[in-house]
Structure 1
Amino acid sequence: MSTTRPVLYLFGSAAPPVLSIAQVVRQAQFRGWEVVLGLTPTAASWLQDELPELNRLTGYPVKSVYRRPGDPDVLPPADAVLFAPATMNSVNSLALGITTSWVIGFAAEAIGKGIPLTVMPCTNTALTGHPQFPRSVATLHEAGVRVLLGEGGFVPNAPGQGDPATYPWEAALGAIEEFVRR
C-alpha cells in the first residue's frame, strides 16, 4: 500500500495502556497519519486476539519480530516514530542499544537515521526510582529523542495505583506532530 499521508510508526510495549492501541491508531489516522503498528513480543501476545483487526485497521501487518533475511519489507518508510507506552525495560534497552526486539531495533535505527522519535514511558515511581532509568532518559535526550516524562507527558504513579484510562495519548500524538514540524 502506498500513501501520500505522513507515516507514523506507533510502537507499544507491555504496559496496560497498550490494550487501547486500536483507539490510538484511529486517533492518529483521524489526525492525518498513515499508521504502522509495532509491538514488543509480550505486548503482541497481550493483543493476540486483536491482531487481525489491527492488521485490517492499519492496512499493514502488525510487526513484533524481525523479518527473515530475504523476506520483503512491506512497510512504508517512517516519517516519525512514537513509542508509547514504553516500559522501563524498553526505555533502558533503547538507551543502551540492546535491540533484542524489532521495535527497539527500529527505534535505535531511527535515532541514527534522524527520524523524529518520541518516547512516552509508562512505569511507576518505584521503577523510575531505579538509578538506570534517569540515566537512560538522559541518554535518549542527548540522542535527540523527545521523552515525555513528567508534566505534559506521563507522570509516574505509585506501584499498583495506575489507571490506564488516564494515560495521556493525546499529549503523545500532539508531541510527535510538534516534533515533526520542527
Structure 2
Amino acid sequence: MSPPVLYLFGSAAPPVQQFPDTVRRAQAAGFEVCVGLTPTAARWLDGAMPLLEELTGHPVRSEYKQPTDPDVWPKADVVVFAPITFNSVNLWALGLTNHFVIGVAAEAIGKGIPTVAMPCVNSAYVQHPQFERSVETLRGSGVSVLYGPGGFEPNEPGMGRPEGYPWHLALAEAARVVGAAP
C-alpha cells in the first residue's frame, strides 16, 4: 500500500523557512510529500528548492501549469497549508485563486480532500474584521483551521518566534484526518 500523499503548502511567513525539516518530519510520519508555495514564499526558499525536490522526489510548485501539461504530482490525500498568512487566508476564503496553492486548496474543498490550515499571523492582523470571517468561512467549508486555543495563537507584532511554530499540530491533524499513525 502506498503512503498517503500530503500536499504541504506555505505562504511567506518565517516558519516556511523550516520546510526542509517539516518535510522530513512528515515523511517520518508516513507521508509522501509534495511542496507548493506562494510566489513570495518560493522566492524566500529559492536556495532550498533543490533540497526540497531531492527530499520529496517531486518538483516544488508555485505557479499553475499549462492546461496541456501533465500533472507532475500524485493525487493528494490531505492538504496542509501552513504557515498561511493573513493575505492567503483571506484570498482563499474569498475564492480569489490567483496563486497556485490557493487555487489547489480551494479546489480541495470541492473535491472533499481533507484540508488543514494553520495561520501564522500577529495580533494586529487578526484585529481586522475580515480575518475572523475568513477563518469561519474556511471552517464552515470543512477546513480544519488550527487557530486559537489548541492551534496557532497570534503573537504581538515583531515578537514572533518561528522556532516555536507548532508544526506538530498540523502534522498530527493531517495524520488524524487520513487515519494514519502520527
Which TM bucket (shorter chain)?
A: over 0.9
Q: Distance in 2 between matches of 1:174 and 1:151?
A: 16
Consecutive unaligned residues in structure 2, runs of 5 or more = none
Query: Normalised by the size of structure 1, how large is the TM-score?
Result: 0.97
> Equivalent residue for 1:41?
39
Q: Distance in 1 between matches of 2:92 and 2:67?
A: 23
60, 64, 67: which one aligns with 2:65? 67
What is the aligned-residue identity percentage? Answer: 59
Equivalent residue runs for 1:60-99 within 5 Å: 60-99=58-97
140, 143, 146: which one aligns with 1:142? 140
1:142 counterpart letter in structure 2:
G
- Is 2:162 the partner of 1:157? no
Q: Distance in 2 between matches of 1:119 and 1:69?
A: 27
Consecutive unaligned residues in structure 1, runs of 5 or more = none
Per-residue deviation, 1:68? 1.1
- Let me know the Cα RMSD of the aligned residues: 1.1
Q: Distance in 2 between matches of 1:165 and 1:15?
A: 12
> Equivalent residue for 1:56?
54
> Equivalent residue for 2:25?
27
Per-residue deviation, 1:179? 2.2
Query: Normalised by the size of structure 2, how large is the TM-score?
Result: 0.97
Q: Distance in 2 between matches of 1:4 and 1:149?
A: 31
Q: Distance in 2 between matches of 1:74 and 1:32?
A: 21
Q: Secondary structure at the match of 1:125?
A: coil
Are the aligned partners of 2:115 and 2:144 in contact in 1 as well (CA < 8 Å)? yes
Q: Secondary structure at the match of 2:124?
A: helix
What's the CA shift string for 1:12-68, capped at 9, x where partnerless?
000000001000000000000000000000000000011011111100000100001
Q: Distance in 2 between matches of 1:56 and 1:72?
A: 20
